[in-house]
Structure 1
């Protein structure tokens, strides 16, 4: 694995153009290489607040660790390439490939509920293909949600933000993920470590959010903490597309062992609904349209 190039003064190499996003561990900026003119993404450590300097320094180390994890995924086309790390006005930052497109959350908000089987299968299927490569390198993403997924103009999905990724089976000492999409085992310390099934839960949440506009177990507001709560209210359960109802509910089962064993199993159940190469685009399509990927490429799983 090659080392990340380190830049002492990012401003000497890149012109920061403006903020394009924010997250819990860093803000995302669009920048331009001063020499080549190429656009890049710059993930910058948040500014220091009134807390101890040690917390600020720890956050900087965390961001650099994210860069190391991204280096472990070098060669996976759907994961943005890490170019360098450095210091920008006293804050740690990562310089990464800039991915043009729209956040999946914005694409879905303009069209939900999404019920077309080919569209649903294309979104979840592409994510299965991406996660298979991540999981094959022994990592769990831990933060699957529409906000961390970009739909490129050609319909291809890209997966962002490796800030919470962790090695399979590595024990955790606190909650890890985003409330609403995180699996139950991510909500507290996990001595046994997280498995690939944590990401399958997140995938199931995206499937439910697309089709019935509701996250499981009460979602963001009323998230239950015991396994005996209903997965969905009865009215939303009745609206689950029959093609995906059984799969979606298995993906978000409370116990990790009760979910599909891996993303290949999920993909195999989606396969009959994937658009065929050369087929027509859906009459009511997302923009950008994720079905375009399978209408022009054979599945890789």
Structure 2
């Protein structure tokens, strides 16, 4: 509670209720808009440590850049709306739509391995729909992982945290994303710039993680190197036949060997999607991502 008391109210309009996340680029709080009573999410720059002022200023600029990128994605159904950017006690702050639901990582942990075709297709399919709109705005998310996906009570998915996002083709000077889910081209500076195929790699990692509970190329344990096996032989044998070739295609080491865009991925999943009005799967996740396609037609 000490941190909550310290930041108090943001410009006296937003009441801070609880800390809900502690990330590398900022701390996330649940708040309330005093005017409307609506709940909001507040991402606050981390307090300055003993490092130089230049580092603290750089971190503040990065948070504002994240806000700018989110504004580029306004009206995308699967991306939280950004309401405002503020400065509070010298720390930059983003005020965003609060998303009700559970992190995908917790949904998967409760049900893994997740291999029912409708469950798999509903999760990856919804992320394809969201990413298509992100990519249409020439952005690459760069940090796809279950921790950055929220499953809402109605089964619809929302993609959060644009802290690593970058314009497609923009050169990078350092690693970007999270080891285990980041594509090989994200692990170092990339003078050619990153493309949507980096996100397709991350999406393939989520597919592998839910079905065989293993990330490719050594995952979190070691830095991936060219020529490393995608998966150990026993995990390769566990891949569901309906998704094996797709998953391995998505995580090819060389970016140009992966699907060109998420529509190609979605087309391979389409036949596994639940039909409108169909019954829930016998073994369903909670919240149930198949609910989305049983009540909405595909958007791709």
TM-score normalized by structure 1? 0.96
Deviations 1:225-280 (A, max 9, x none): 22x11100011100000000000000000000000110000000000000000111
Number of residue-to-residue matches in the alignment: 292
1:90 Cα deviation (Å)? Answer: 2.4
User: How many angstroms apart in 1 are the aligned matches of 2:115 and 2:47?
Assistant: 42
- 2:263 corresponds in structure 1 to 264
Give the superposition deviation at 1:24: 1.2
Shift, 1:283, TM fit: 1.0
Distance 1:238 1:225 in 2: 22
Indicate the residue corresponding to 1:247 in structure 2: 246
- Out of 9-18 and 108-117, give the one that drifted further: 9-18
Cα distance per residue 1:10-52 (max 9 Å; x no partner): 2411110011112110111000111221110000001111100
Report what 1:112 is aligned to.
112
SS in 2 for 1:204: helix
> Deviation above 6 Å: which 4+ runs of structure 1?
none
Please state if 1:220 is matched with 2:191. no
> Is the deviation greater in 209-218 or in 83-92?
83-92
Q: Secondary structure at the match of 1:238?
A: helix
Note the alpha carbon deviations across 1:43-81, whole angstroms, 9 max, x for none: 000111110011011101110010000000011011000
For residues 151-182 of structure 1, what are the alpha-carbon distances to aligned partners after superposition, in whole Å with 9 as ceiling and x for unaligned? 00000000000111111100001100100000
Partner of 1:293: 292
CA distance in 1, matches of 2:289, 2:28: 24
Q: How far off is 1:223 after superposition? A: 3.2
Which consecutive residues of structure 1, in runs of 5 or more, have no partner in the other structure? Answer: 1-8
Aligned mates of 2:282, 2:86 — CA distance in 1: 47
1:63 counterpart = 2:56: no
Which residue is equivalent to 2:29?
Answer: 29
Counterparts in 2 of 1:1-301, with a 5 A limit?
A: 10-226=10-226, 228-301=227-300
Root mean square deviation of aligned Cα: 0.8
5+ residue gaps, structure 2? 1-8
CA distance in 1, matches of 2:47, 2:33: 23
* 1:112-168 Cα distance to aligned partner (Å, 9 max, x none): 100100000000000000000000000000000000000000000000001111111
Distance in 2 (alpha carbons) for counterparts of 1:223 and 1:245: 24
> In structure 2, how many angstroms separate the alpha carbons of the residues matched to 1:200 and 1:224?
17
Q: Look up the match of 1:3.
A: none
What corresponds to 2:6 in structure 1?
A: none
